[in-house]
C-alpha cells in the first residue's frame, strides 16, 4: 500500500494535527517555556522506544539492504535527535538523567506500547506502517513552517531539523521500504489500522504537550 493512500484514509486526523494549537505554537513561536519543556522531555522518552523498535524492524528484515537502512535509522535517532533534545533541554537546565527519571505521560506510554506491541505481534509490513506517521508528520510540520519560521531559536532549530534535506532523505528511505515490502501483502486492513492508530497517537501526543500532561481531562500525571 502506498503512503498516499494511507494519508488519504487519515486525512481528517492529519488536519486535526496540522491545525492543533501546539503545532500552531511551534510555527508562531508562542509556546510557553513550560509547554516546550514538557514536550521535549516526553518526546525524548518516546524516542527511547522508537529507536528500539526501529532496530527490531531492521532485525526482522533479515540482513537485507533495507535491514541495514533501518538499523542505521535507529542509530541516527539515538545520536542526532537525542542530541537535538539534549541541546534544547540544556536551555531549561535539564540534564539527561533528569529526562530519564521523568515519568512518561499517558500518551507517551500509549504510543510507545503500541509500537512495541506491534513489533512483537504483527508482521513487518504492519510494523512499518505503524512507524510511518512519526516520520511523515514531523516532516510535514517542519515543512509547514519552513518558509516563515519563528524567531524563537529553539523552535527554529526544531523546524530546521525536520524540514531539512537529511531528514527528508530518511523519510524517503523508510517510505520506500514500507511501500516495497507491503506491495503484495494480503492484509491491507491491518496496515491501514496500524497507520491510523499511530496517527491518533500523534494527535494525542500534541494534545498532551499542549496541556502539559492533562490530556483527555485526566488531571496531572
In this predicted structure, the answer to whether residue 156 has a pLDDT above a threshold of 60 is yes
CA–CA distance, 206 with 111 (Å, rounded to integer):
12
Mean pLDDT, the chain, rounded, equals 91
Q: How far is CA 36 from CA 42, 76, 113, in A?
A: 10, 23, 23
Q: What is the pTM of this model?
A: 0.92
In this predicted structure, the answer to whether residue 45 has a pLDDT above a threshold of 60 is yes
CA–CA distance, 160 with 101 (Å, rounded to integer):
28
CB burial of 145-176 (b: ≥16 within 10 Å; e: otherwise) equals beeebbebebbeebbebbbeeebeebbebbbe
Q: Which fold has domain 3-212?
A: Heme Oxygenase; Chain A (1.20.910)
Q: Count of CB atoms within 10 A of residue 93's CB?
A: 8
pLDDT in tens, 172-195: 999 999 999 999 899 999 999 999
pLDDT, position 81: 65
- In this prediction, residues 70-90 reach a mean pLDDT of 79
Please identify which residue in the block is written with the cell numbers 494480503.
186
In this predicted structure, the answer to whether residue 154 has a pLDDT above a threshold of 50 is yes
> Which residues are CB-contacts of 19 (< 8 A; sequence separation ≥ 6)?
none
- Domain parsing of the chain, residue ranges: 3-212
In this predicted structure, the answer to whether residue 86 has a pLDDT above a threshold of 80 is no
Tell me which residue of 170, 178, 169 sits closest to 1, measured CA to CA.
178
In this predicted structure, the answer to whether residue 42 has a pLDDT above a threshold of 60 is yes
Q: Which residue has the higher pLDDT, 157 or 124?
A: 124
- In this prediction, residues 87-95 reach a mean pLDDT of 76
CA–CA distance, 60 with 67 (Å, rounded to integer):
8
DSSP, collapsed to helix, strand or coil, labels residue 27 as helix
pLDDT in tens, 4-25: 999 999 999 999 999 999 999 9
- In this prediction, residues 112-134 reach a mean pLDDT of 97
Stretch (H or E) spanning 137:
helix 124-144
Amino acid at each position: 500500500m502506498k503512503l498516499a493512500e494511507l494519508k488519504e484514509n487519515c486525512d481528517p486526523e492529519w488536519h486535526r494535527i496540522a491545525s492543533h494549537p501546539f503545532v500552531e505554537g511551534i510555527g508562531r513561536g508562542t509556546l510557553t517555556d513550560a509547554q516546550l519543556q514538557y514536550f521535549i522531555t516526553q518526546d525524548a522518552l518516546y524516542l527511547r522506544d522508537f529507536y528500539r523498535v526501529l532496530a527490531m524492524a531492521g532485525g526482522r528484515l533479515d540482513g537485507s539492504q533495507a535491514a541495514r537502512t533501518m538499523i542505521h535509522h535507529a542509530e541516527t535517532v539515538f545520536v542526532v535527535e537525542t542530541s537535538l533534545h539534549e541541546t534544547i533541554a540544556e536551555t531549561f537546565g535539564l540534564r539527561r538523567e533528569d529526562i530519564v527519571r521523568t515519568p512518561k505521560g499517558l500518551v507517551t506510554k500509549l504510543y510507545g506500547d503500541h509500537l512495541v506491541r506491534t513489533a512483537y505481534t504483527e508482521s513487518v509490513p504492519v510494523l512499518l506502517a505503524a512507524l510511518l506517521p512519526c516520520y511523515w508528520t514531523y516532516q510535514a510540520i517542519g515543512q509547514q513552517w519552513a518558509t516563515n519560521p519563528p524567531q524563537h531559536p529553539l523552535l527554529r532549530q526544531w523546524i530546521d531539523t525536520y524540514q531539512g534535506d537529511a531528514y527528508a532523505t530518511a523519510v524517503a528511505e523508510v517510505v520506500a521500504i514500507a511501500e516495497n515490502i507491503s506491495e503484495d501483502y494480503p492484509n491491507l486492513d491491518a496496515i491501514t489500522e496500524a497507520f491510523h492508530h499511530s496517527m491518533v497517537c500523534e494527535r494525542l501526543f500534541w494534545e498532551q504537550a499542549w496541556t502539559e500532561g492533562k490530556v483527555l481531562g485526566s488531571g496531572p500525571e
